[in-house]
Chain A
Amino acid sequence: MVHRIWDPRWESADRSTIENLQVELLKEQVKRLFNKLPYYRKKMQEKGISPEDVTSLDDLRLLPFTEKKDFMDNYPFGMFAIPLNEVVRIQGSSGTTTGKSSIVGYSRNDLDTWSNLCARLVTGAGVGPHDVAQVSFGYGLFTGGFGLHAGLERAGALVIPLSSGNTSRQIKFMIDMKSTALISTPTYALRIAEVMKEESIPREALNLKWGLFGGEPWSEAIRDQIDSNLDITATDNYGMSEVMGPGISYECLERNGMHVAEDHFIIEIIDPETEEPVADGEVGEVVLTALTKEAVPVVRYRSKDLSRIIPGDCPCGRTCKRMEKIRGRTDDMLIIRGVNVFPTQIEGVLLSIEHTQPHYQLVVTKRGALDALEVQVEVTEQIFHDEMKKLKSLEEEIRYRLKNELNLDCHVKLVEPKSLQRFEGKARRVLDQRE
Chain B
Amino acid sequence: MSKDTITQLAIFIENRTGRLAEVCRHLGDKGLNIYGFSIADTEDYGIFRLICKRSEMAHEILKEAGFTVKENEVLCVRVPHKPGGLAHVLKSFSDAGINVEYLYAIADSLIVFHLDELERGKQLIRDQGIEIINQEDF
Q: Is the CB of A387 within 8 A of B114?
A: yes
Other CB < 8 Å A-B pairs besides A385-B10, A388-B102, A414-B45, 17 of them?
A: A379-B45, A381-B68, A385-B70, A386-B10, A386-B70, A386-B114, A387-B47, A387-B101, A387-B114, A388-B47, A414-B12, A415-B14, A415-B45, A416-B14, A416-B66, A416-B67, A418-B66
**A388 partner residues in chain B, CB cutoff 8 A:** 40, 42, 47, 102
**A387 partner residues in chain B, CB cutoff 8 A:** 47, 101-102, 114
Give bound CA distance, A304 to B19, whole Å. 42
Q: Is the CB of A384 within 8 A of B10?
A: yes
Least CB separation from A416: chain B residue: B14
Q: Mark B5-22, 1 if CB is under 8 A from A, else 0.
A: 000101011100001000
Least CB separation from A414: chain B residue: B45
> Can you give 18 A-B contacts (C-beta < 8 A)?
A379-B68, A384-B12, A384-B69, A384-B70, A385-B10, A385-B70, A386-B8, A386-B10, A386-B70, A386-B72, A386-B114, A414-B44, A414-B45, A416-B12, A416-B14, A416-B68, A417-B68, A418-B66
CB distance from B104 to the nearest CB of A (A): 12
Chain A: interface residue total (CB-CB under 8 A)? 17
Q: Please report whether the interface of chain B is mostly helix, strand, loop or mixed according to DSSP.
A: strand
**A417 partner residues in chain B, CB cutoff 8 A:** 66-68
Known A414-B45, A415-B14, A416-B14; contact A384-B72, beta-carbon cutoff 8 A: no
Q: Is the CB of A391 within 8 A of B47?
A: yes
Least CB separation from A386: chain B residue: B10
B122 at the interface (CB under 8 A from A): no
**B49 partner residues in chain A, CB cutoff 8 A:** 386
Known A386-B47, A414-B44, A414-B45; contact A380-B68, beta-carbon cutoff 8 A: yes
Give bound CA distance, A201 to B75, whole Å. 61
Q: Is the CB of A416 within 8 A of B13?
A: yes
**B19 partner residues in chain A, CB cutoff 8 A:** 416
> Which B positions have Cβ atoms within 8 angstroms of A?
8, 10, 12-14, 19, 40, 42, 44-45, 47, 49, 66-70, 72, 101-102, 114
Least CB separation from A415: chain B residue: B14
Give bound CA distance, A269 to B42, whole Å. 50
**Which 6 A-B residue pairings sit nearest by Cβ, starting from the closest?**
A386-B10, A388-B40, A379-B12, A384-B68, A416-B14, A379-B68
Least CB separation from B74: chain A residue: A386
CB distance from B54 to the nearest CB of A (A): 19
**B69 partner residues in chain A, CB cutoff 8 A:** 381, 384
**B114 partner residues in chain A, CB cutoff 8 A:** 386-387
- Restricting to A206-255, which residues have a CB under 8 Å from any CB of B? none
Known A379-B68, A387-B114; contact A419-B47, beta-carbon cutoff 8 A: no
A191 at the interface (CB under 8 A from B): no
**A414 partner residues in chain B, CB cutoff 8 A:** 12, 44-45
- Restricting to A410-433, which residues have a CB under 8 Å from any CB of B? 413-419
**B102 partner residues in chain A, CB cutoff 8 A:** 387-388
Give bound CA distance, A385 to B68, whole Å. 10
Give bound CA distance, A413 to B8, whole Å. 25
**B66 partner residues in chain A, CB cutoff 8 A:** 416-418
Give bound CA distance, A387 to B14, whole Å. 15
Give bound CA distance, A418 to B67, whole Å. 9
CB distance from A393 to the nearest CB of B (A): 13
Least CB separation from B71: chain A residue: A386
Q: Per a CB cutoff under 8 Å, which of B13, B44, B47, B67 touches A413?
A: B44
**A419 partner residues in chain B, CB cutoff 8 A:** 14
Least CB separation from A382: chain B residue: B68
Give bound CA distance, A381 to B8, whole Å. 15
